[in-house]
Structure 1
Amino acid sequence: MRWQWSRKCLHEGQFPAVASVHLTVIYGASVSSNIPTSARAHSRFVSRHPLRHERAPRVQPKKMRGTATALAVAAMAAVVQAVSNTTSLNTTCVTGVYMLVARGSSELPGLGLMGGVAQKVSQAIPGSAIVPIDYPATFADYVKSEVSGALAISSAVESYTHLCPKAKIALLGYSQGGQAVMDSLCGNSEVGFVVTPDLADVYDSVVIAAVTFGDPSHIINVPWDRGTSNKTGLFPRKNITACEPFSDQIRGWCDSGDTYCDSGTNRAVHGSYFANYTTDVVDFVVSKFNASAASTSTSTTTTAAPSTSTAPTSTSTSGSTSTSTTITSTGAPSPTSAAASLTPSLATFASLVLSVLYMAML
């Protein structure tokens, strides 16, 4: 048996004439014993029963168990944080149109003037989302700024489509933002600009509309040209081959005298598009959205009936069943179902954490 002697008796040396010291058996019982109290007897007694009998819990296992538990808790916290970050994203693929808006030069970060046009579209198409493109939009370093905007738009289209394969996206850009919209679709062929790639063919059916006001890369005699201008812009596009797959989805307004898209001298023209063409833009985007929705709702898949059955082949109509209210975002596109894509890795990680917790309890 192991005995644990009273700290008061063994360390403080306070022994009455007859000390009644409680001894605790490892089984938990409490008993009494008479101990001689002379200094000599006390010394002999302690030498025979050194403090090694006061067995402390083993330190190393406790440290290991504590470390394992701490690691498990930290790992679980990481899982919780990952889930939290995932669910904080926009968790719904919108049922309306997903609008990416690129503001004009020197406009404050956000939607800019083109945001008013986007709001009109969202009122006409319930369940739509409006997302501003985060890029510099500066005059001081125009080339770098514009290229940054084009790449940001392409990235936003690709990211949203990856999460929402049935996406219906509209691109809206004003001034420098209009050039960025066109470069994201067609690649950059303007003199003096860094070459950027055009949007992959897989997105042809995803981008249902692309609208520009006062685009400095404006050229005439193309199917999408609108407005009264008969001149090219300050940075005319040299190659439209990559634009052609999107020709039916693009509309670009440029009026005579515009300093940037018409190489004119009337600066007031550049800001007049919102009063003159907002209704035209809304009608255009709505028509493209309705056409895309109709095409999606009438798409069918046919499955042949078993050879032993007399039933005709079955046809199922596919369409989007998700619902959403209008979403206005001020950041980069970050929609849904990201949680679903992370589920396998999170499940594996969670299993590992549970295993560590189990080992920590041993």
Structure 2
Amino acid sequence: MKNKIALIILVVLLIVFGFVAYKWIKHRIEYAISDAVFVETDNLSNIAFNRVSGKIIKMYKQEGDKVKKGELLAKIDPTDYKTTLSKTEKEIENLLFEKKALEIKKDRIEKQLNIAINIAQTELNQLDLEKKAIKYQIEELKAQKEQLQRDKKRYENLVEKNLTAKRNLEEINTQLKILNAKENSLKVKLNQLDYKKKILEDNLKLNKVKLAQVKELEENIKALNKKIESLKETKKDIQNLISYTDLKAPFDAIIAKKFKSVGEVVSAGKPIYSIFPRNNLYILVLLDENKLKGVKVGSKAYITLDAYPDKKFEGEVFEINPTTAAKFALVPRDITAGEFTKVAQRIPVKIRITKGDISLLKVGLGGEVEIKRK
């Protein structure tokens, strides 16, 4: 009886063992299993301060922290840049004041000279009219004198012949004297007008020369404008530099590495953080070549990470590398000497996570994967 019971137990154990062995073998046939598993990303980026250097006064994020695009990560002391900005703004202010003063001076001088030129030109026109009138009067006097001269000769002949009274000749001489006096007076006035005209013309030329000098003020104003515009561009650049003292996240990401600490002096372009996009993580499997059969793009995968043994992740294969991992090793094997030991090669397979808490993933974590063969 005891032998029969022992036989039954042995048969049951054999059946259970066979069933387990069958399940295990079947599972190994249906799934490609590997523990050469790593959490990876292809978009690991080092970020640094752009064009600015100085002492770090704030570090807002630590390794593993999530950040949003535009979120402040670190800050350099902006004091020197703000001091330079203040000096530039003051210089612009002084130049604007100088430019305003020159513009006021130019407008005042230009206005005064234009008024003086217009007045002088008007007076010259009036003088020309007066001179013309006087010359006309002188011509009339000459005509009258010529007539009197003819009358005088005629009366002298008549007086000699006692045909007229001597008094008539004396009246003609008196009229000639009066006309000569008027002519001389008009000529003196004409000379005075010529002198006055010369003075006005000289003043007019002088004012026109001064008006030409206003062009120099305009050139000075143009030069100031160029300098002001240049300083305004400098001001914009300094303002940009001040904004660059704030290091911000270029995209939604996770902090992978912090290279610097508060108090350190850094130069432009030196890495401060290393980050990667939140949704760019994948599982990299270095799959033995003898396990590759049936593994295709789109194959379902089940991942367990060593850091979270009670968490399950699901995914699917989205890329199978066409070369082995050893092909790009830093020191590839040299088989040209004829010495060769066969070593199983590993093929990089990439798996996209489709189910599971992605926020738990960290680049470099290891684990185990089961890929459903097709």
Smaller-chain TM-score range?
Answer: under 0.3
- Indicate the structure with greater strand content: 2
- Indicate the structure with greater helix content: 2
TM-score (structure 1 length as normaliser) = 0.27
Q: Rg larger in 1 or in 2?
A: 2
TM-score (structure 2 length as normaliser) = 0.26
